[in-house]
């Protein structure tokens, strides 16, 4: 399996701390010896990972023009989860399920940002269809700042069927749509729930929308008609967090 290159101080540190067995190689920028880099080098030494010092050009090539901050780590790809994992996870939960569903989000930057927000909000898993979804690649991992390693990313064959299965397990499906009548702040988000976010522009697909129990929207006061999907995800998830903590 082709290794995946993770770059950036934070992403590299998180990978070494949480899943160092995935690491197959590590490269650092010649001449960089500041405090943040030294902490990472000390961690690599503690994990018995050998570091090779290379030029900026070599790092640029490995990171494919990403902002590597002087470090690149080669890893086995993060493994996505499947329907069986989701079923087993829900069986073990001792609190109301809190799930995020991404329908048609194809940009790895947006996926990474959504994973980071999901981790901060305490979401148990992020679910997406196998087709027309962003890959869990190095770009998504870098933007996620460590969340990609800890928040399960579940890819399902048939999203509509998965939503029906969740409903049968007592999970309420709340979809987001600009034309909805109910504001997110007036919806009940306290019980077992899955929040569905659609792709920017086209929103949720028809079958996805039809399998939602409720549709909600964010109140928009300005001239802009919609938010970036990762920003909208943050607004909705933390409204749910506010209600659930209250």
For domain 4-75, say whether CATH 3.60.20.10 is its number: no
159 marked as part of a ligand binding site: no
Distance CA 102, CA 140 (A): 14
pLDDT, tens digit, 9 for 90 and up, residues 73-131: 998 888 899 999 999 999 999 999 999 999 999 999 999 999 999 999 999 999 999 99
Tokens standing for residue 182 = 């109910």
CA angle 20, 21, 25 (to 5 degrees): 75
Tokens standing for residue 177 = 């749509």
CATH number of the 83-245 domain:
3.40.1280.10
173 marked as part of a ligand binding site: no
Domain boundaries, the chain: 4-75, 83-245
Distance CA 220, CA 15 (A): 38
SS3 letters for 177-210? CCCCCEEHHHCCCCCCEEEEEEECCCECCHHHHH
pLDDT, tens digit, 9 for 90 and up, residues 4-57: 888 888 888 988 988 888 899 999 999 887 889 999 999 999 999 999 999 999
9 marked as part of a ligand binding site: no
The reply to whether 83-245 shares the fold of 4-75 is no
What is the predicted pLDDT for the residue at 31? 85
Q: pTM for the full model? A: 0.84
């Amino acid at each position: 399996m082709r290794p995946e290159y993770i770059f950036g101080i934070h992403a590299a540190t998180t990978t070494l701390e949480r899943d160092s067995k995935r690491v197959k190689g590590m490269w650092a920028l010649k001449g960089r010896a500041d405090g943040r880099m030294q902490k990472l080098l000390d961690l690599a030494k503690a994990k018995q990972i050998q570091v090779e010092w290379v030029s900026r050009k070599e790092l640029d090539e490995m990171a494919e023009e990403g902002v590597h901050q002087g470090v690149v780590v080669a890893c086995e790809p993060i493994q996505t989860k499947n329907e069986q994992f989701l079923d087993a996870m829900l069986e073990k939960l001792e609190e109301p399920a809190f799930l995020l569903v991404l329908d048609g989000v194809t940009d790895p930057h947006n996926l990474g940002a959504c994973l980071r927000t999901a981790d901060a909000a305490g979401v148990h898993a992020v679910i997406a269809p196998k087709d027309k979804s962003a890959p869990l690649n190095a770009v998504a991992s870098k933007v996620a700042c460590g969340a990609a390693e800890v928040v399960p990313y579940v890819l399902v064959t048939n999203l509509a069927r998965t939503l029906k299965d969740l409903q049968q397990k007592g999970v309420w499906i709340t979809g987001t749509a600009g034309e909805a009548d109910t504001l997110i702040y007036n919806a009940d988000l306290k019980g077992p729930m899955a929040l569905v976010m659609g792709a920017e522009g086209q929103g949720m697909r028809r079958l996805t929308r039809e399998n939602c129990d409720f549709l909600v929207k964010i109140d928009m006061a300005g001239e802009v008609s919609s938010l970036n999907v990762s920003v909208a995800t943050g607004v909705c998830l933390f409204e749910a967090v506010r209600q659930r903590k209250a």
